A and B are shown apart, each in its own frame.
Chain A
Amino acid sequence: MQIPLLQINQLQTHFHIGKRVVKAVDGISISVNPGETMALVGESGSGKSVTAMSIMRLLPEAITKTQGEILFEGRDMLKMSMEEIRDIRGKHISMIFQEPMTSLNPAYTIGEQISEAVRVHSNVDKKTAWNKAVEMLELVGIPAAVQRAKEYPHQMSGGMRQRVMIAISLVCNPRLLLADEPTTALDVTIQAQILDLIIKLAKEFNTALIMITHDLGVVAEIAQNMAVMYAGRIVEQGRVADVFANPHHPYTVGLMDSIPRLDGGKKQRLHTIEGVVPDLSALPMGCTFADRCEYAKEKCREEFPAVRVLANARQVACHYPLGGIES
């Protein structure tokens, strides 16, 4: 059996704000094998970005309480010192954010920013690092890379900036890339370019990818495995083809049915999930989705559903799962 590159066990990330405890992530477990792509899907406030930030240890420590295990190549990242974490960040695990403008430093040229990443993690001189930066820019498809390396972020378009971010994140050949909604701020034709680039490079560098997105279309196109998050918990996970073919959790079903499809009928009623996401600082006792679930029964409001492991690494957290598995 393959050892997973990243294994998260029962991760809890709670924020203590005044007297309130916001349970942003509340006991999730996922594992990602080398070279594999896993998609984390969910709506705003479901905890998908907080999961990524917890892995990178980027959350403010004063108010964050993290429990569980984040095993990267067998070592628990939650037990590491900040120094060890810094060595992993950027070199073994790197991250791309949604907004490329705010993640780049406006006061440095893009060449400097890419070579900085190289110089932090390997012992090379400036010239070598700069050449590596230019080489990366060519690889991510920036024309006239030698000149563009001397430009500043504001001189580039959104798509170009996201390419630069990808160059920075891959320059040290990391084993895991966390991409947090990398194409949400981009136009569709540019999104297609960037998705294509990420898939191509992840394959070339044999980098595993955790793709955070709210777009099921993106999931279907790039991921092998997926986990659906709702209110800080994973409600369903499995292979993408299996989950799409036969979703078990009512939330997954609702999510899939509520997107208007290009092959759908005109002005046909869309499926809706009534209500809104619950307040994470006052979660209900039972299933967090029960209030919005059309199949909810008494048990759902009283008892929290445990994660059930099915065949093919499929998991679902529901008392009354759909799609032909008995409850």
Chain B
Amino acid sequence: MSKEEHLLTVRNLKKHFPIRGGLFGGQIGTVQAVDGVSFTIKHGQTLGLVGESGCGKSTTGMLVLRLLEMTAGQVLFQGQDVGQMKKQELRDFRRHAQIIFQDPYASLNPRMSVGDIIAEPMMLHDIASGIERTKKVEDLLKVVGLGPHHARRYPHEFSGGQRQRIGIARALAVQPKLIVCDEPVSALDVSIQSQILNLLVDLQQELGLAYLFIAHGLNAVKHISDEIGVMYLGKMVELGEGDELILNPLHPYTKTLISAIPQPHPGAKKNRIILQGDVPSPANPPSGCRFHTRCPEQIAICSQEEPEFRQVQSRFVACHLVK
């Protein structure tokens, strides 16, 4: 595999947040939100990140775009180290990498018209001006399934699904190569979800976009992703080709996650694995394998030694049981 194929390479990415407290507000601990995550995304492909709340998937998305400073590790975008970029380089990078947020209500400025919202990134990056910009805004609105007349309206006049379309149009305004989609459909109703998922797939095929698609719903992730990474408590536990990973999960956590989703097949045989307890706190993660406290298949070594994230055939997995 040649290097040029990878649009984004993430190596051993870490983010530790300090916990402050005590009388003088000193550091009394760290939350290991992301702790050694590695993956790559190819041009025009989708990597899905799944996991439960607190597993570090959204933090990973923020780190990739350097909306948060990483503690350690490396993010390479087209071979360039994002962590080392200076101000101007970072601006150029952001032209190529954009983000769509979960909450379409909170991520649009209520005092700007939709046209201004979509034009703003073009203004910031000096793409088109005057009539050309207005024309581009209209085109973008059309691309995401809205009309040119929507440009003069304000975000509160739109439904959740339409707002998410506006967020997508804004991200597309600078013609990016990579879009981080942070739970883009989680807040939407089922029938609207499918509209947005279809739109994302269409745009990818037309414009050759790459997505880092972050979600907790495995169904949506499976639908849109070429590769899927499963995260648990700041660690990537399994990474592999989407269909294969779902059909034949290797890590016990992946197996649990798949079995836990209620499937719309009444009377289907259920071999649901029910986990005991809650996700432990990332401020005080368990020793050894972080999943061992809830793992139905744990053995003696799991609580002592942390499993290495290694390649098993075409898959990457971090588990002592997988040979």
Contacts and interface: CB of A to CB of B under 8 A. Distances in A.
A160 B277 CA distance: 9
Nearest to B268: A220
Interface string A172-207: 000000000000000111111101100000000000
Interface string B86-109: 000000000000000000000000
Interface in B1-55: 52-53
Contacts of A88: none
A264 interface: yes
Interface in B244-274: 246, 256-268, 270, 272, 274
B242 interface: yes
Interface in A59-90: none
B181 interface: no
Interface in A6-46: 43-44
Contact of B52 (A187, A193, A195, A244): A187
B297 interface: no
Given A189-B257, A255-B190, A255-B191, A261 B274 contact: no
Contact of B265 (A44, A195, A220, A273): A220
Contact of B190 (A159, A192, A259, A276): A259
Given A195-B262, A259-B219, A266-B223, A188 B194 contact: no
Contact of B223 (A192, A254, A270): A270
Interface residues on A, range: 35 or more
Contacts of A266: 222-226, 242-243
Given A260-B220, A266-B243, A272 B260 contact: no
B123 interface: no
A67 B279 CA distance: 46
Nearest to A185: B53
Contacts of A44: 189
B191 A43 contact: yes
A43 B275 CA distance: 29
Interface string B224-247: 111000000000000000110010
Given A193-B275, A272-B191, A276-B161, A260 B264 contact: no
Contacts of B256: 189
Contacts of B267: 241
A148 interface: no
Contacts of B262: 191-192, 195, 215, 217-218, 220-221
A221 B191 contact: no
A135 B259 CA distance: 30
A245 to B, nearest CB: 8
Interface in A234-292: 240-241, 244, 254-256, 258-262, 264, 266-274, 276
Contacts of B275: 189, 192-193
B319 to A, nearest CB: 17
Interface string B192-222: 1111011001001000000000001111101
A135 to B, nearest CB: 21
A157 interface: yes
B278 interface: yes
B194 A189 contact: no
A189 B260 contact: yes
A219 interface: yes
B278 A244 contact: no
A216 interface: yes
A240 B265 CA distance: 10
Contacts of A193: 274-275
A214 interface: yes
A188 B219 contact: no
A239 to B, nearest CB: 9
Contacts of B246: 262
Given A255-B190, A258-B194, A266-B242, A188 B201 contact: no
Contacts of B71: none
Given A276-B159, A276-B162, 19 more contacts: A157-B278, A187-B53, A188-B218, A188-B261, A192-B260, A193-B274, A196-B272, A217-B264, A220-B264, A220-B268, A241-B267, A258-B190, A258-B191, A260-B194, A260-B219, A260-B224, A266-B222, A266-B226, A267-B223
22 contacts: A160-B278, A189-B52, A189-B257, A217-B261, A220-B265, A244-B264, A258-B191, A260-B220, A260-B222, A261-B263, A262-B218, A262-B246, A262-B258, A262-B261, A264-B222, A267-B201, A267-B204, A270-B194, A272-B191, A272-B195, A273-B191, A273-B194
8 closest residue pairs by CB, A with B: A217-B262, A260-B223, A258-B194, A187-B52, A270-B194, A273-B191, A192-B260, A43-B189
